[in-house]
Amino acid sequence: MTGQENALIEINNLKKYFNVGRGAVLKAVDDVNLKIMEGETLGLVGESGCGKTTLGRTVIRLYEPTGGEVLFEGKNVHKLQGQELRGFNRKAQMIFQDPYASLNPRMTVADIIGEGIDIHGLYKNRERTERIYELLNLVGLNKEHANRFPHEFSGGQRQRIGIARALAVEPKFIVCDEPISALDVSIQAQVVNLLMELQQKFKLTYLFIAHDLSMVKYVSDRIAVMYLGVVVELATSEDLHKSPLHPYTQALLSAIPIPDPETERKKKRILLEGDVPSPINPPEGCRFAKRCRHAKPVCTEKQPEFKEVEKNHFVACHLY
Amino acid sequence: MERLLEVKDLQVSFKTYAGEVKAVRGVSFHVDRGETVAVVGESGCGKSVTMQAIMRLIPMPPGVIKNGTIIFDGKDITKLSEKEMEHIRGSEISMVFQDPMTSLNPTMKVGAQIAEGLIKHQKMHPSKAREKAIEMLKLVGIPNAEKRVDQYPHEFSGGMRQRAMIAIALACNPKLLIADEPTTALDVTIQAQILDLMRDLQKKLNTAIIIITHNLGVVANLAQRVLVMYAGKIIERGSLDEIFYNPRHPYTWGLLMSVPTPELDKNKRLASIDGTPPDLFAPPVGCAFAARCEYAMRICYEKYPEDFPVSDGHSAACWLLHPMAPKVKPPVGKGVTL
Ligand SMILES: Nc1ncnc2c1ncn2[C@@H]1O[C@H](COP(=O)(O)OP(=O)(O)OP(=O)(O)O)[C@@H](O)[C@H]1O
Ligand SMILES: Nc1ncnc2c1ncn2[C@@H]1O[C@H](COP(=O)(O)OP(=O)(O)OP(=O)(O)O)[C@@H](O)[C@H]1O
Ligand code: SF4
Ligand code: SF4
Ligand SMILES: [Mg+2]
Ligand SMILES: [Mg+2]
């Protein structure tokens, strides 16, 4: 991505805190700034619990932010009303991590896919049925599947139903929250190929959350790395893999197990000591300092600024 | 190396209202002392059922072991009483399950869960067992072990729970550790810690490991030998390098090609294996992969291919290895022509 495209989504100083009782506040997302360009895939990676899902859910208005704003086509998502709000609810969709839990077991596939069409009054009667068949076709299922229930499908097929449901309302933007983690390799490949084809066909914009960094690199134009509620690095996926700057990103990349025995035998991994600190009362200064090999005194005193250190390559670290 | 486990012609079925699911259809393999064997293959191909049979944890009914011998450390464990088997499960073979939250007891302190087996099977004194529990927690890299030993599972993070499971599994110094998808739910940095831990412990204690995973990066990192399963059978087996660099079965090719590597070109589609695995109610008579195989020949539909040897310890059940079959260049590996 170059600087010329339009931002479909602008995330400015976004905060999402949770009250977890006895006055304790959990800072799941703490001052995040990101732009997602029209037609791009922005990958989002980071340790379990660092706030990826919370960020995705706040962006599509499933959560109210504690602070900051999200602009979609220039408008503040959390202030939309009436017609504009309905429009946004249609244009921004989410594909959920768990293909088993995210489909209502008592609804037929046709009704799961048709629900959004009905809510937004997009098609009726015959047209509605045809639209559902068309969507099933698009995701590699067929109309014989329409009247079956989710439990009659394999994991990969269920994930396809979830994708058809998201596409039913002709969205522009989809948050894909670990859409492939629960699937085995060859089915992962099928689902990813499908997502990429659909993106080209309909000029979709994706926020793609996943653990598998090789896959994230493959699907994403740019990648943001989160750690404990903050974005610590942002770059094109090429740059991020070739020259990761943040010590956490470096550790993350060095830990990907590569499906090649010789590479694995030669590999030197950067081992991280200790566990992720709690997002309740996160440490002052750099949140990674306790586990960082390069930590200096300033790191525990001052939170590093998120700044552009190379063209289109941003990092929050006192080393740069 | 000395044999630790020898499984011969294992056949396991499930009797359901819809008919008999032939989940494991004649599986034979061995594991030597101190070695790591990885088992890979598509969802539903019988990996977990094979391991459950070794642990004698198949629910019966609906499960039936139709055939097979399982020799562990010189004993045929299919013939042991349930009481003898319980002892083996507590002290000689341990299993780490995929989901640590459902396999840890939520109402029992983590330390007590580690100590339980030691007290029961090794007749260890409770205070000694507690010390050992702390030592095990330290060994699996849990900070503050003295304090953590008295906490409950929900007070541990996901990665710590997984390590606690491994601590329980290893506390009794088992001869065999069976790990079923031990790192699937973890992110890569914690996954790396767990793999290192398993390797270290294996060196220290000479434990043999069977690891089931669909992450081929994990296989490349940890295994010495690989078994590839498809529709209830082992269709290819060999050393780690033979399987990755000289694979001979079209299903193994498909598996290796589906995996993205960091070098993968974005403009290319990912390879995937089209179609679905066969119905295990009525598995095909010939090669079970034939319906999805672009190299399938007539004989493939008619007769199950025998296990053709490729090199020492490497064999594949595919008609392409028959001397009369057409020569095919494998699309993956280091390009050896058959
Ligand atoms: N509804 C909630 N109430 C309280 N805390 C929450 C809630 N949702 C999330 N959290 C907490 O916020 C933090 C971020 O959670 P989130 O689910 O966004 O992480 P994640 O990066 O998606 O992790 P994973 O990779 O495990 O899915 C975690 O500490 C989590 O426990
Ligand atoms: N209790 C049961 N009753 C009926 N069928 C069963 C039962 N347990 C397993 N099966 C069937 O046996 C076959 C093999 O299952 P198994 O759990 O061994 O697969 P797997 O290779 O471990 O797959 P995965 O990678 O998804 O864990 C599947 O077709 C499954 O549906
Ligand atoms: S700011 Fe300091 S502690 Fe944080 S990542 Fe950079 S060097 Fe490490
Ligand atoms: S035996 Fe035939 S169908 Fe089976 S994998 Fe080999 S070539 Fe393909
Ligand atoms: Mg999440
Ligand atoms: Mg299994």
Per-residue pLDDT of B286-322, as tens digits, reads 999 999 999 999 999 999 999 999 999 999 999 999 9
Kindly state the average pLDDT of the residues A185-203.
86
Distance from CA of A57 to the nearest CA of B (A): 20
Distance A247 CA to ligand 3 centre (A): 7
- Predicted confidence at residue B334, as pLDDT, reads 64
Cβ atoms of A225 and A249 closer than 8 Å? yes
CA dist., res. A272 & res. A268, Å (int)? 13
Ligand 3 pocket, residue A227 CB under 6 Å: no
Per residue in B202-248, pLDDT (tens digit) is 888 899 999 998 889 999 999 999 999 999 999 999 999 999 999 99
Domain-located, residue A228: yes
Specify the pLDDT at position B336: 43
Q: Which of A188, A211, A255 sits opposite B192 (nearest CB)?
A: A255
Is the sign of the CA dihedral B295, B228, A180, A167 positive or negative?
Answer: positive
Span A70-83, average pLDDT: 95
pLDDT score at B190: 76
Q: How far is CA A161 from the centre of its chain?
A: 19
> What are the chain A neighbours of B216 within 8 Å (beta carbons)?
185, 259
> Alpha carbon B332 to chain centroid distance?
23
Task: Provide mean pLDDT across the span A10-27.
Answer: 90
Q: Do A271 and B192 touch (CB under 8 A)?
A: yes
Question: What CATH number is attached to the domain comprising A229?
Answer: 3.40.50.300
Contact flag B262-A186 (C-beta cutoff 8 Å): no
Nearest to A259 among B189, B241, B259 (CB): B259
The pTM of this model reads 0.86
Closest CA to ligand 3's atom 3: A289
Which of B11, B45, B214 has most ligand 2 atoms within 8 Å of CB, for mutation? B45
Ligand 2 mean position, distance from CA B26 (Å): 15
Task: Indicate which ligand has the atom closest to the C-alpha of B317.
Answer: 4
In chain B the first and final C-alpha atoms are separated, in Å, by 30
- Say whether pLDDT at B101 is over 90: no
Both tokens assigned to A230? 């903050």
Domains and CATH numbers, chain B: 3-223 (3.40.50.300), 228-321 (no CATH)
Residue B294, class by beta-carbon neighbours within 10 Å (0-12 exposed, 13-18 middle, 19+ buried)?
exposed
Determine which residue's CA is closest to atom 29 belonging to ligand 2: B44
Query: Can you tell me the ipTM of this complex?
Result: 0.83
pLDDT above 90 for B192: no
Q: Is any ligand 3 atom within 6 A of the Cβ of residue A292?
A: yes
Domain that holds residue A142: 7-316
- Confirm or reject: Cβ of B4 under 6 Å from ligand 4: no
Number of folded domains that form chain A: 1
Q: d(Cα B239, Cα B231) in Å, to the nearest integer?
A: 21
Is residue A222 one of the residues assigned to a domain?
yes
Please check whether residue A257 touches B, CB under 8 A.
yes
Task: Please determine, for residue A85, whether its predicted confidence score (pLDDT) is greater than 50.
Answer: yes
Contacts of B59 (CB under 8 A, 6+ apart): none
Cβ neighbour number for residue B317 with a 10 Å cutoff: 23
Q: How wide is the angle at C-alpha A223 spanned by C-alphas A222 and A224, nearest 5°?
A: 130
pLDDT (mean) for A249-270 = 89
Residue A157 falls inside a structural domain: yes
Question: What confidence score (pLDDT) does residue A182 get?
Answer: 66
The answer to whether residues A183 and A155 touch, using CB atoms and an 8 Å cutoff, is: yes
pLDDT tens, A107-116? 999 999 999 9
Nearest CA to ligand 2 atom 30: B44
CB contact under 8 A, A215 and B195: no
- Quick one: average pLDDT of B22-29? 95
Cα–Cα distance between A228 and A230 in angstroms, integer? 6
* Separation of alpha carbons A136 and A122, rounded Å: 17
- Dig out the tokens for B59 from the structure: 């629910």
Q: Give the Cα separation of B44 and B15 in Å (integer).
A: 16
Among A300-314, B95-109, B185-199, B203-217, top mean pLDDT goes to A300-314
C-alpha distance from residue A44 to each of A50, A77, A232, B188, B289 (Å):
11, 20, 11, 14, 37
pLDDT class of B337 with cuts at 50, 70, 90: very low
pLDDT of residue B129: 94
Cα A141 → chain centroid = 25
Region B265-274: mean pLDDT is 81
What is the chain B residue with the closest CA to A153? B276
Q: Whose CA is nearest to atom 10 of ligand 1?
A: A28
Interface test with B, best of A40, A180, A186, A227 (most B CBs within 10 A): A186
B16 CA from centroid of ligand 2 (Å): 13
Cα gap A214→A258, rounded to integer Å: 9
Is residue A265 included in any domain, yes or no? yes
* Site of tokens 């008609």: B319
Q: Tokens 């170059």 label which residue?
A: A2
Q: How confident is the model at residue B258 (pLDDT cuts 50, 70, 90)?
A: confident
Taking an 8 Å cut-off on Cβ atoms, the answer to whether A257 and B245 are in contact is no
User: Is A278 within 8 Å of chain B by CB?
Assistant: no
User: Quick one: pLDDT at residue A181?
Assistant: 72
Report pLDDT for B338.
Answer: 38
- What pLDDT sits at residue A10? 97
User: What value does the mean pLDDT of chain B take?
Assistant: 88
From the CB of A39, is ligand 3 less than 6 Å away? no
pLDDT at B274: 80
Which residue stretches of chain B are H helix? 47-54, 82-91, 100-103, 110-121, 126-139, 145-148, 158-170, 188-205, 216-222, 240-245, 250-258, 298-302
> Does some domain include residue A69?
yes
Report the atom number in ligand 4 closest to the C-alpha of B296: 3
Q: Is A294 in the pocket of ligand 3 (CB under 6 A)?
A: yes
| A295: in domain | yes
Residue A258: which of B220, B270, B272 has the nearest Cβ? B220
Counts for chain A of helices (H) and strands (E), in that order: 10, 12
Considering chain A, what is the average pLDDT of its residues? 89
A1 within a domain of the structure (yes/no): no
Ligand 4 pocket: which of B229, B297, B302, B328 to mutate (most atoms within 8 A of CB): B297
Lowest mean pLDDT among A26-30, A258-262, B258-262: B258-262
Alpha carbon distance A90, A87 (integer Å): 5
Question: What is the model's pLDDT at position A58?
Answer: 96
Q: pLDDT by residue (tens digit) across B118-146?
A: 998 888 999 999 999 999 888 887 878 88
Beta bridge partners of A205: A173
pLDDT confidence bin for B275, thresholds 50/70/90: confident
Residue with the smallest CA separation from ligand 3 atom 1 is A317
Ligand 6 centre distance from Cα of residue B25 (Å): 16
CB pairs A-B closer than 8 Å? 122
Q: How far is B210 from chain A (nearest CA, A)?
A: 18
